[in-house]
């Protein structure tokens, strides 16, 4: 993180070795959590500790200089630039070089955009806009961690001016800081559940953490306050309480904890209490102020910058999570790189003479990095790189747009129709085939549209919006409540459409059985939802039969690890291949094992077909997605990736399925007669 080093002893905020140690606690918590998530499940709160430290130190310096009449915006931002820019530039350029040698063009374009936003201290906004169903997994983004740097720099841009104006107009700093803190925390508390992504990434719901440190700094500057906090008993109580709160957050927190929310009070108040206790509190002096902790604290900023890209690029290169021993070696490498960066880059540019020249050069360099990132994105990841010729070009996404289609799916209420991820129809002829379903239906839709003909054009209602995914199952059970409104709306639109002759139902097995894991069907054999599934889907089929429609259900694809874990990429750099060993085989599941895991699901489809022999047909995708001769189902065959994101078929697989499915549908529904 970018929190500043302690100010000189002659200033009010004299050097606090324990704060260097607290930096060490924060960065160790974050790095160990990223490398070994189960070892310190709440280690992510180290970032919140950094926020409090930054707010405290920055505010201490600003308020002290304002009181002395020595504050200068130019001097403040000069110090910020010399502190933050050098290490950041080195890490961003290193990530660019690694991306050049390891990433497909669309991945490299994405990284380049993150480099540009990181150089502009806007990573938190970019990540907020990217978050969503089809967003790449967090562990695949080398610069994901720069969101917190963005929050800090946005704080530094805004609050020095606020402190300056409060001082100019003689408004109590404690009142200003306390009011803004309360406002920011209120935003956080109100929206962390209903809008968790925005609450996590946006400054309005995060500034209260830095302002907690700011309020502590303002409080300590008040007359007589230091005497109160300096009493040994109070200092000891504060220190012990702070460590207790922070320790509780580290142990009790987990990646599933709604955050920041109320839970963030634990690390924030814990860090504030430790700082308030002062350098002479026993735990602070001996636990935090010792030489090893101070040393780690000194390199905490470059260590925070270095550790995550190393972990991510190792995962990308090996198409999977590296072994525990390799992750440990990567953390040691991050420590070494951090010390080298601190010793030979940061210290030389941060201290000494010619500060104006240094700042100008650093600002120009960071701007050049931002331009490089933006230009690389504009050039679509520079496909002419040597990596492209050494690897088969793959994509992990489905088509965002399909030719010859337009918005509209028979739902009269346009506002309601737009709540669906996809409400579209073929514009060439009147659709006679309706496709309904969740994100699996969206994956297959490109194949159905492209392989339709004049008698079998397609209308599609469905997609991935959690509250508007028309899972074809009617049930009063709570597990399926989120789907009921959308499936009823979709069914009504299709049932009343006289041109639709056949309905294709496509849904994920995990949605059908309310499973929580999209990487395996291991929990399916023990599901208690079998009867609900049969009765719920049967109601849908019979409703369409009553409306004069026939129904085809597509059998879901095998569930394999995410495709990014299954590809075999090779860098043109042999040295890099030795540092980050590539994967040597793709992911697969034995065909018979998949049949065993999905037996309950296939039995349900068989029962549905028995109940509705005249109007229901089942189309099996496994002969297309699996090698039945070798009795294996793989993520890749030859140069083709069969999966796009998590367990969804790729566009290539969708085309192969559509090529066989559409004639099957046309024949079953007798569409040649129309």
- Give the Cα separation of 463 and 465 in Å (integer): 6
What pTM, to 2 d.p., does this model score?
Answer: 0.87
User: 511 — phi, psi (to 5°)?
Assistant: -70, -40
pLDDT at 137: 73
Map out the domains of the chain with their CATH numbers.
17-390 (no CATH), 405-559+594-630+648-673 (3.40.50.1110)
Residue 10 has pLDDT above 60, yes or no: no
Euclidean distance between CA atoms 366 and 380, whole angstroms: 21
Q: What is the pLDDT of residue 517?
A: 78
Lowest mean pLDDT among 209-213, 227-231, 528-532, 607-611: 227-231
Q: How is residue 402 annotated by DSSP?
A: -
Nearest in space to 72 (alpha carbons), one of 98, 22, 80, 332: 80
pLDDT, averaged across the chain: 93
Question: Any residues with CB less than 8 A from the CB of 430 and at least 6 apart, and which?
Answer: 457, 499
Higher per-residue pLDDT: 309 or 563: 309
- Paired with 466 in beta bridges are none
Instruction: Tell me the three state secondary structure of residue 378.
Output: helix
Cα 663 from Cα 453, distance rounded (Å): 9
Assess whether pLDDT exceeds 80 at residue 16: yes
- In this structure, are strands 626-627 and 632-634 parallel, antiparallel, or unpaired? antiparallel
Q: Provide the pLDDT for residue 225.
A: 62
Q: What's residue 73's pLDDT?
A: 97
Return the closest-CA partner of residue 648 out of 417, 437, 381, 403. Answer: 437
pLDDT at 674: 58
Q: Are 553 and 616 in contact (CB under 8 A)?
A: yes
> Over the stretch 123-153, which tens digit does the pLDDT of each residue have?
999 999 988 544 557 788 999 999 999 999 9
pLDDT at 564: 82
- Per residue in 106-125, pLDDT (tens digit) is 899 999 999 999 999 999 99
For residue 351, the model assigns a pLDDT of 86
Do residues 2 and 153 make contact, with C-beta atoms less than 8 angstroms apart?
Answer: yes
């Amino acid at each position: 993180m970018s929190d500043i080093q302690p100010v000189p002893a002659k200033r009010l905020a004299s050097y606090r070795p324990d704060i260097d140690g607290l930096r060490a606690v924060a960065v160790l918590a974050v790095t160990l959590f990223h490398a070994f998530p189960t070892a310190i499940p709440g280690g992510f709160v180290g970032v919140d500790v950094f926020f409090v430290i930054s707010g405290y130190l920055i505010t201490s310096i600003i308020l002290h200089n304002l009181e002395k009449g020595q504050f200068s915006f130019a001097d403040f931002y000069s110090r910020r630039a010399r502190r933050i820019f050098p290490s950041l530039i080195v890490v961003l350029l290193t990530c660019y070089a690694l991306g050049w040698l390891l990433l497909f063009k669309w991945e490299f374009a994405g990284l380049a955009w993150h480099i540009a936003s990181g150089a502009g201290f806007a990573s938190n906004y970019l990540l907020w806009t990217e978050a969503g169903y089809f967003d790449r997994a967090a562990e695949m983004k080398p610069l994901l961690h720069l969101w917190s740097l963005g929050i800090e720099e946005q704080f530094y841009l805004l609050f020095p001016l606020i402190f300056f104006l409060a001082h100019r107009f003689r408004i109590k700093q404690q009142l200003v800081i306390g009011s803004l803190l309360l406002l920011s925390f209120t935003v956080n508390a109100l929206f962390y559940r209903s809008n968790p992504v925005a609450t996590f990434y946006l400054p309005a719901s995060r500034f209260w953490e830095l302002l907690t440190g700011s309020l502590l700094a303002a409080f300590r500057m008040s007359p007589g306050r230091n005497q109160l906090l300096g009493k040994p008993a109070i200092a000891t109580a504060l220190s012990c309480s702070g460590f207790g709160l922070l320790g509780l957050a580290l142990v009790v927190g987990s990646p599933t904890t709604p955050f920041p929310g109320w839970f963030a009070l634990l690390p924030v108040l814990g860090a504030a209490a430790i700082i308030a206790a002062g350098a002479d509190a026993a735990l602070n002096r001996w636990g935090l102020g010792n030489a090893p902790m101070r040393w780690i604290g000194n390199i905490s900023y470059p260590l925070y910058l270095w550790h995550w890209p190393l972990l991510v690029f190792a995962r990308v290169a090996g198409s999977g999570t590296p072994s525990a021993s390799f992750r440990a070696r990567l953390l040691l490498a991050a420590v070494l790189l951090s010390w080298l960066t601190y010793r030979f880059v940061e210290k030389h540019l941060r201290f000494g003479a010619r500060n104006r020249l240094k700042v100008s050069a650093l600002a120009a360099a960071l701007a050049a990095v931002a331009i490089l990132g933006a230009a690389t994105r504009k050039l679509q990841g520079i496909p002419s790189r040597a990596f492209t010729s050494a690897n088969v070009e793959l994509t992990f996404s489905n088509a965002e747009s399909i030719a010859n289609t337009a918005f509209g799916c028979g739902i009269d209420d346009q506002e309601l129709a737009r709540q669906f991820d996809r409400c579209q129809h073929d514009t060439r002829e009147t659709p006679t085939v309706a496709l309904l379903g969740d994100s699996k239906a969206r994956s297959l839709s490109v194949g159905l549209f492209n392989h339709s003909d004049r008698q079998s054009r397609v209308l599609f209602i469905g997609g991935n919006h959690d509250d508007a995914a028309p899972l074809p199952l009617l049930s009063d059970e709570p597990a399926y409540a989120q789907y009921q409104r959308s499936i009823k709306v979709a069914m009504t639109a299709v049932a009343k459409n006289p041109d639709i002759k056949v309905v294709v139902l496509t849904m994920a097995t995990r949605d059908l059985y309310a499973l929580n894991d999209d990487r395996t069907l291991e929990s399916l054999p023990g599901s208690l939802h079998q009867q609900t599934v049969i009765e719920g889907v049967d109601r849908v089929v019979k409703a369409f039969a009553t409306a004069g429609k026939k129904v085809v259900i597509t059998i879901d694809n095998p569930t394999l690890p995410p495709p990014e874990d299954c590809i075999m990429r090779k860098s043109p750099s042999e040295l890099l291949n030795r540092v980050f060993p590539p994967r040597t085989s793709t992911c697969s599941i034995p065909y018979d094992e998949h049949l065993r895991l999905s037996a309950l699901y296939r039995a349900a489809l068989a029962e549905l077909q028995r109940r509705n022999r005249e109007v229901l047909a089942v189309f099996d995708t496994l002969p297309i997605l699996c090698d039945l001769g070798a009795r294996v189902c793989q993520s890749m065959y030859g140069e083709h990736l069969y999966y796009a994101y998590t367990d969804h078929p790729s566009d290539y697989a969708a085309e192969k399925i559509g090529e066989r499915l559409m004639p099957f549908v046309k024949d079953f529904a007798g569409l040649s007669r129309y």
